[in-house]
């Protein structure tokens, strides 16, 4: 994070440079020394005032819109996930995620869906080549498909509440969320790990088909990267927390992305660490990449 240098707060006064004046009686001098010194109030720099005023004018919807703008237009990323719990054994898996946005330059969808996502299992070996396709539709629940190598065919599925092979990440957690899928309300700002942040509450709309009833996002103010996300289930119980590592945030073309994050399941007392090992930023992905008949080839 870029930090502005602090403006000087004090000016040095040299007593030896002051002109001589009439002698002051000792008692009067003592009283003057005992009197409190009135110092001029510190005034923030004009740019700090402007930034604070600008921040104060943002509502929850606009903050989340800015979170959404901090995205690549498309990507192919390879990620490693390590899961554990109170037991001694950890579980590792690797996935490849291919994603494409179908919004125009004015952020409006160009089709009847917002995006398409392919999730391909690379490890462990017994589930390798399993591939999921999620189509994030406008005004209706997602279309979801899976290709299972053991059955050698593609079928429609319902992934609501399903996890990525026993990890603490669900499919819903992996697919980028669209602003239209929830209503957003700004909560009081916070400082997270020394970083000034916005706080936004998101309530998913019924057509989003979310497995959660509520999210609260803590968003750093410089690049609009969510550093912490808290999740509540349908019963109003806080069940999960996702924390991104601020030190891992890097710029890839037009987007700032954290490369490491940790999801904790607060009820099951388990956790999953996610590390993005490679990102291909804004590749030219044709529509054919996401066709159902192509799933078998991934």
Question: DSSP letters of 2-17?
Answer: --PPPPP------GGG
- What pTM was computed for the model? 0.80
Q: How does pLDDT run across 79-89, given as a tens digit for each residue? A: 999 999 877 77
User: In which band, very low, low, confident or very high, does the pLDDT at 151 lie, cut at 50, 70 and 90?
Assistant: confident
What is the model's pLDDT at position 18? 38
Q: Are 120 and 95 in contact (CB under 8 A)?
A: yes
Give the separation between CA 61 and CA 53, rounded to whole angstroms: 17
Distance, in Å, from the CA atom of 199 to the CA atom of 205, rounded to the nearest integer, reads 19
**Tokens linked to 274:** 């996610």
Q: Which H or E run includes 52?
A: helix 46-57
What the block records as the tokens of 66 is 């800015």
DSSP secondary structure letter of residue 244: E
- DSSP state letter for 157: -
Looking at residue 14, its pLDDT comes to 34
Enumerate the domain spans of the chain: 53-297
- Give which of 146, 142, 97, 136 is closest to 120, Cα–Cα: 97
pLDDT > 90? residue 95: yes
- Residue 272 has what DSSP assignment? E
Please report which confidence band the pLDDT of residue 44 belongs to, taking 50, 70 and 90 as the band edges.
low
Structure tokens at 64: 């989340």
Decide which of 1.10.150.530, 2.50.20.10, 3.40.50.180, 3.30.9.10 is the CATH code for 53-297.
Answer: 2.50.20.10
């Amino acid at each position: 994070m870029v930090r502005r240098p602090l403006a000087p707060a004090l000016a040095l006064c040299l007593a030896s440079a002051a002109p001589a004046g009439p002698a002051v009686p000792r008692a009067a001098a003592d009283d003057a020394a005992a009197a409190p010194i009135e110092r001029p109030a510190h005034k923030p720099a004009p740019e700090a005032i402007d930034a604070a005023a600008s921040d104060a004018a943002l509502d929850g919807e606009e903050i989340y819109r800015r979170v959404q703008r901090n995205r690549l237009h498309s990507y192919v990323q390879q990620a490693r996930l390590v899961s554990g719990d109170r037991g001694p054994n950890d579980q590792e898996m690797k996935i490849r995620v291919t994603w494409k946005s179908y919004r125009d330059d004015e952020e409006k969808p160009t089709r009847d869906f917002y995006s398409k996502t392919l999730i391909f299992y690379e490890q462990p070996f017994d589930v390798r080549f399993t591939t999921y396709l999620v189509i994030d539709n406008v005004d209706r629940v997602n279309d979801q498909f899976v290709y299972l190598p053991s059955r050698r065919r593609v079928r429609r599925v319902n992934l609501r509440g399903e996890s990525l092979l026993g990890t603490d990440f669900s499919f819903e957690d992996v697919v980028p969320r669209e602003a239209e899928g929830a209503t957003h309300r700004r909560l009081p700002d916070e400082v997270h790990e020394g970083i000034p942040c916005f706080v936004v509450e998101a309530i998913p709309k019924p057509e989003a088909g979310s497995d959660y009833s509520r999210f609260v996002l803590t968003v750093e103010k410089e690049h609009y990267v969510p550093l912490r996300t808290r999740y509540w289930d349908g019963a109003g119980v806080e069940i999960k927390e996702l924390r991104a590592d601020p030190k891992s945030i890097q710029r890839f073309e037009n987007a700032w992305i954290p490369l490491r994050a940790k999801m904790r399941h607060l009820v099951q007392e388990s956790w999953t660490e996610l590390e993005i090992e490679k990102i291909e930023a804004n590749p030219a992905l044709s529509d054919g990449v996401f066709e159902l008949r192509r799933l078998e080839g991934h």
